[in-house]
Homo-oligomer: A and B are copies of this chain.
Amino acid sequence: MTTPDHPSVHPAWLPDAATAFLHGRTVLVAGDGPLAETVRGEARRAGATLVDGDADLVLRDTGAVPGGEGFVVAHRDGRLDVAADDDAALLHAWFHVVRSGTTDAAGHPDARHEPAHALRMLDHWDNVDVHPVMGQVERGYSGGSIFYADGHVREDLSRVEQYARLLAATGVNRVAINNVNVHAREARLLTDGLPDVARVAAAFRPWGIRVHLSVSFASPIVLGGLPTSDPLDPGVRAWWADAVARVYAAIPDFGGFVVKADSEGQPGPFAYGRDHADGANLLARALAPHGGTVHWRAFVYNHTQDWRDRSTDRARAAYDHFAPLDGRFDENVVVQVKHGPMDFQTREPVSPVLAAMPRTRLAVELQVTQEYTGQQRHACYLGPWWSEILRFRPWGPVEGDDGSPTVSDVVGGAGPGASPQVAAARGGGIAAVSNVGDDAFWTGHPLAQANLYAFGRLAWDPTLDPTAVLDEWVALTFASPSSASADRTVDPDVRAGVHAVLDDSWRTYEAYTAPLGVGFMVNPGHHYGPSVDGYEYSPWGTYHFADRDGIGVDRTRATGTGYIGQYPAPWRDVYESLDTCPDELLLFFHHVPYGHVLHDGTTVVQHVYDTHFAGVERVEEYVRTWQGLRGAVDDAVFERVTERLAEQLRSAREWRDQVCTYFLRASGVADAHGRTIY
């Protein structure tokens, strides 16, 4: 179970067994584009026979919709005949067939497939140099960077090529290759480093993936020696225009920039009395002549807040900064909004910014790397969480589906009131922080590969059932080696076992860590493991206000910070009322006594006890389930997962005991079930 170029590297969801059903099949790939050649290479790799005439599988680049990326699956004489919009679509169609595991007509109903989002991007928080605290990959839990080693872009990019192939199989089409916190060395990728960036772009190109760079807003000063990076300064504009022209001279299909400005210490337009629209448009106008895009992050807040100051609410910050700027961003600006108002917590409400900027191309930003969800030491399949977010309806209804717009619609440019420009550009799409490093399993925890896979698939089609997506991943990753030239199979015990561990693992993680929407009960800095008061007296704006009587943040309009007022109806009312506020977000929106009774009849404090004990029990069950798979999965995978599950169980017990003890000490309320709390 290794890839040929790197014998020690796990093949993820493209082991040879995944394509063995294509062995000996005849395949016709009709098309002249460069990606058609990639598809032919894939067919050869699968052991298929490329033919010019009749074939088991026909893939045709019709050229009908350049940039469309969609394809129509049909049948002719009982055989699959796929008509692709363009050569990128040809590649998507190929992997569509691979995912299906069959060339049988019954497995392929006639249908058109196309991506819901034009921009499906992974952001790497990789540094060229190793950071003394963060390591090489900020919030990376999978070893070093696949792009950089020893202070340079790697000479050998074969692993990047394998990564590109894996991403192509999920539908990702953009990759930003360096950290949004742009340190001095990394800033130079934009200038001195261009030949190396061009090599990376060349590794991604055959897989239909365009490369982006994170840039420092202070580049004109840091790299150009200018006295300012004021976005309205003509010299600054000229510097960016020149810099971008040089980028495109080296990389004609360069994607654009990702920018974290005026955020957590990064430079930005505020220093010059300018706003984020001024800043973003500066870069956008340099990129526009070349077809590039600027992803401008909305993650802006006061990270030196005084914890004593209850009038400031970090949750409000992105909306307060960005909503007033709606309509002022250029067409090639995407404002990239974290899915929640805080920072990738296990549970947050959806950011109200996503409902507040119809005249702006918005992207929703997810986090595949498990910063707050177990850091790839815990099995935590995030598909259900992302699915909830993407299907969320900012304008209601609260339950059910009346066809009203979802978050996915909004970031697809189809939200209510979307300007013609936003609609024409199909919004800003979906971005996420990658969880990949140079670890042999790509993601540290082998089961965390499922998150990377699911991200690509949900970015392509957010209406997919996340459990079905997981099942795809299982079928590919754990494909039985014996399935050559027949429909692909997977050991049913493995399928059931992996589902048993992963299906509900995000809710399990939530249960033993931070239920009811309370966040940031983690150790400061590295964010692993429990510390109930870890961020309670910090400058980061992340508080729970627990005392002897109760807990939670009052963000109501009536008596709190007013954050709830940033939501349109019905949510501004649903969240405002204790009667209707969903339990899982209760403490995010309200400060309540420990004795407050939840909708299921338990009190808040008893819920804390119950979920923490139940969460640990579920992890114990995961351990048992996985042990049953010994011999049924690759030994190396088995051992790595076994080791991670042991740590997950240890950590889950630590969470349970610290959190329960803290709240027992605070509340004085004994557990109704008499379990041991310390």
Residues of chain A having any CB pair with chain B under 8 Å: 132, 307-308, 310, 530-533, 537, 546-549, 657-658, 661-662, 664-668, 678
Contact of A657 among B308, B665, B666, B678 (CB under 8 A): B308
Interface pair A665/B547, CB less than 8 Å apart: yes
CB distance A308 to B678 under 8 Å?
A: yes
**Docked-complex contact B307 and A547, CB < 8 angstroms:** no
Q: A533-B531, A537-B661, A661-B537 are in contact. Are A547 and B666 (CB under 8 A)?
A: yes
Q: List the 7 closest pairs (A to B, CB-CB), nearest first.
A: A547-B665, A548-B548, A308-B678, A533-B533, A537-B658, A548-B668, A132-B132
A340–B132 CA distance with the chains assembled, in angstroms: 34
Q: Give the number of times this chain occurs in the complex, counting copies.
A: 2
Chain B residues whose C-beta falls within 8 Å of the C-beta of A667 in the assembled complex: 548
Give complex CA distance A530, B536 in Å.
Answer: 12
Give 18 pairs: A residue, B residue, CB < 8 Å, sorted on A. Answer: A307-B678, A308-B657, A308-B661, A531-B533, A531-B537, A532-B533, A533-B533, A533-B662, A537-B661, A537-B662, A546-B665, A547-B664, A547-B666, A547-B668, A548-B668, A549-B668, A665-B666, A666-B666
A665 and B548 within 8 A (CB): yes
Bound together, the chains give a CA A98 to CA B667 distance in angstroms of 63
Q: Chain A: interface secondary structure?
A: loop
Considering the complex, give the chain B residue whose CB is closest to the CB of A310.
Answer: B678
> Which chain B residue lies CB-closest to A523?
B524
How far is the CB of A665 from the nearest CB of chain B, in Å?
A: 3
- For residue A546, which residues in chain B have a CB less than 8 angstroms away from its CB? 665
Apart from the given pairs A307-B678, A537-B662, A548-B667, 17 other A-B contacts in the complex at a CB distance below 8 Å: A132-B132, A308-B657, A308-B678, A310-B678, A530-B537, A531-B533, A531-B537, A533-B533, A537-B661, A546-B665, A547-B666, A548-B548, A548-B666, A548-B668, A549-B668, A665-B666, A666-B666
> Which partner residue on chain B sits nearest A666 by CB separation?
B548
CB closest chain-B residue, reference A532: B533
Q: How far is the CB of A548 from chain B (nearest CB, A)?
A: 4
Please name all residues of chain B whose beta carbon is closer than 8 Å to the beta carbon of A548 when the two chains form the complex.
Answer: 548, 665-668
Q: Which residue of B lies closest to A659 (CB)?
A: B537
CA distance A547 to B657 in the complex (A): 15
Q: Which residues of B contact A665 (CB under 8 A)?
A: 546-548, 666
Q: How far is the CB of A124 from chain B (nearest CB, A)?
A: 23
Contacts of A661 in B (CB 8 A): 308, 537
Chain B residues with CB under 8 Å of A307's CB are: 678
Give CA–CA (A667, B666) in the complex, Å: 9
Most buried by B among A308, A657, A661, A666: A308
Bound: A63/B168 CA distance, A: 88
Give A344 to B423 CA distance when docked, in angstroms.
65
Closest residue to A529 on the B side, CB-wise? B537
Measured CB to CB, the nearest residue on chain B to A530 is B537
Contacts of A657 in B (CB 8 A): 308
With most chain B CB atoms within 10 A of its CB, the pick from A132, A307, A533, A661 is: A533
- Measured CB to CB, the nearest residue on chain B to A307 is B678
Q: How far is the CB of A593 from chain B (nearest CB, A)?
A: 13
CB proximity of A653 to chain B, nearest CB, Å: 10
Once the chains are docked, how many angstroms separate the CA of A530 from the CA of B308?
A: 14
Q: When chains A and B are docked, how far (Å) is the Cα of A533 from the Cα of B521?
A: 12
Inter-chain contacts of A132 with B (CB < 8 A):
132
Most chain B CB inside 10 Å of its own CB: which residue of A548, A549, A658: A548
Shortest C-beta distance, A144 to chain B (Å), equals 16
